[in-house]
Copies of this chain bind each other. A is one copy, B any other.
Amino acid sequence: MHALKAEMICTGSELLSGKLNLYVPLFHERLAGLGFRITREQSSGDDIGEISSCMAGALERSALVLVCGGLGPTFDDVTRQAAARTLKRRLVRSKACEKILSASFSLRVLPPNLSDQCLQVSGAESVENRNGTAFGEILREGRKMMILLPGPRGEWEPMFESSLNARIREAFPAAPAVDLVKFRIAGLSEPRAETLLRPVIRKFPGASFTILTGPGTVDFTASAPAAAGLLKKIKPFCAGILKEKLYGYGDETLAMAAGKKLAAAGKTLSAAESCTGGLASGLLTSVPGCSRYFLGAAIAYSNSAKTGVLGVKASTLKKYGAVSAQCAREMALGAAKKFKSDYAFAVTGIAGPDGGTPDKPVGLVFFALAEGKRTIMFERRFRHSRAHIRACAANFILDELRKILE
């Protein structure tokens, strides 16, 4: 049984001119839990015609339509007018709403801006808003439901939790709740991950899958109706295919995965970064509690820092250059010694866009991972922009660190 279709309509010119749209990420899990899948989102400016055309299309396609924003008292708030036009109904003044606002503001007569907040689409069920003056509206049209909500999260969120949740469940008792699991993968390109995972997609036609690439990482998400219990089967099946490439689930990062292993083993870590310039350390220290295992790092961007701070030999730099396996090795050993850590890693490479040579092109990065006096070295060539090369390099070494700690 498939999730029902829901659509979102987000109104406000600011959403089309620079403001991030946070509605969808915030609503999608709530709606999934109610058995709905968001199949389309539309953002529109504060224009009755545009909003109404968004509404008409959404109501034609989907069982549930959520409209956010445009219920305030100012000139550019036109969502109720658009809903009235779409449903060919009139706006009427709600006595119940007037009573609530009068009590809330201790006024016998409401001023025009508050009085207009009591206009509702005829036939609407109003939803009280304890954190603002805009009432929500639940509109039914045949089997469809359209809900108008105020824009600020501090207003719609409590309304959703306190009553809308239950009203949607009541109206759509047959909507199947959906389970979701996100597999976090490192060390595989997207095409390679897809090839590996194709058997999962074929084996479970009742589930939906999405794949998303990051710098050196891939997220694979499976969702399926909770009742089918498919995810209980998909989870071990995927894990068996992905093996050590699977570094976590949900919101777990590579830095969390590595940190968890270090903490469990009671081991400490330090780092030496050249081309990543603090990126890998920044990821490691984004994890709360990382001070248990992360001692520190030397960002040795200049050659003088490599020799002076990390003790890389001048002869090594002269013979092999700063971008070399030998230099990476001495950087890692130098960090381990300097910070007195059990493990240390080092990254040195050419992030570009300039500085590449035929011998050492942009994107070439050397890594070393030291455990005591033992070191492992890696050489990789990453592509694309400076930012991408640096992000890939940082993720690569965190992934190797995590794997060595298995």
Contacts and interface: CB of A to CB of B under 8 A. Distances in A.
Interface of A: 12-22, 24-25, 28-29, 32, 37-47, 50, 53-54, 57, 61, 72-76, 113, 131-132, 154-155, 180, 190-191, 194, 198, 201, 208-213, 219, 221, 223, 270-271, 273, 275-282, 284-286, 288-291, 294-302, 304-305, 308-309, 338-340, 352-354, 383-388, 390
Tell which of A41, A57, A209 has the most Cβ of chain B within 10 Å.
A41
Nearest to A54: B40
Given A211-B74, A278-B299, A40 B46 contact: no
B24 A15 contact: yes
Contact of A339 (B50, B308, B390): B308
A385 B131 contact: yes
A39 B28 contact: no
26 contacts: A13-B208, A15-B24, A16-B37, A16-B39, A16-B40, A17-B180, A17-B210, A18-B210, A18-B212, A19-B25, A39-B45, A42-B42, A75-B198, A155-B384, A277-B281, A277-B282, A277-B290, A278-B281, A285-B301, A286-B387, A296-B299, A297-B299, A297-B301, A298-B298, A298-B299, A309-B339
Contacts of A276: 282, 285
A305 B113 CA distance: 44
Contacts of A131: 383-385, 388
A305 B295 contact: yes
A20 B18 contact: no
Contact of A72 (B57, B61, B190, B384): B190
A299 B285 contact: yes
A210 B14 contact: yes
Contacts of A295: 301-302, 304-305
B288 A354 contact: yes
Given A277-B286, A295-B305, A296-B305, 20 more contacts: A12-B210, A13-B208, A13-B210, A15-B24, A17-B28, A17-B32, A18-B28, A20-B25, A46-B210, A72-B213, A73-B190, A74-B211, A131-B384, A154-B388, A277-B284, A278-B281, A278-B282, A295-B304, A299-B299, A302-B339
B290 A301 contact: yes
B386 A288 contact: yes
A304 B340 contact: yes
Rank and list the top 9 A-B pairs by shortest CB-CB distance, nearest first: A277-B285, A278-B281, A278-B278, A296-B305, A278-B282, A297-B299, A41-B43, A13-B210, A295-B302
A57 B278 CA distance: 46
A298 B308 CA distance: 12
Nearest to A251: B18
Contact of A50 (B39, B53, B384): B39
B46 A39 contact: no
Contacts of A132: 384
A21 B72 CA distance: 24
A190 B19 CA distance: 13
Contacts of A278: 273, 278-282, 284-285, 297, 299
Contacts of A198: 75
A74 B190 contact: yes
Nearest to A385: B154
A387 B154 contact: yes
